[in-house]
Amino acid sequence: MQTAPAIPQSTEFFQAKQPCLPLRFNGTDIYASQRNGPYTLTNVLLTDESGATLVTQQALAVYTTAPYLYTDFAPNRIYLPLILR
């Protein structure tokens, strides 16, 4: 398993009744790393900030993706053929 590029720390706020928390990753960073997956989501820390900040959950190796190719995250490139009349 390859080590993906370091993803910057992210803070997301959600309510306790929300069933899912969307996580977004920069595909350009993955492409620039030139490392194929699978990728592992790790070092996840959940805190309760309703009062003093309290750690409520901490986990390593939370999720592993399918074996994506880094080229799947290539920036969109448009090819416009030259047409002569």
* CA atoms of 8 and 17, how far apart (whole Å): 26
DSSP state of 31: H
Full-model pTM: 0.64
Query: For residue range 45-58, what is the model confidence (pLDDT) as tens digits?
Result: 888 878 778 888 88
Of residues 3, 4, 21, the one with CA closest to residue 12: 21
Quick: pLDDT tens for 29-43.
889 999 999 998 888
What sections of 11-58 are H helices per DSSP? 27-33
Q: Other C-beta atoms within 10 Å of 82: how many?
A: 4
3-class SS at 40? strand
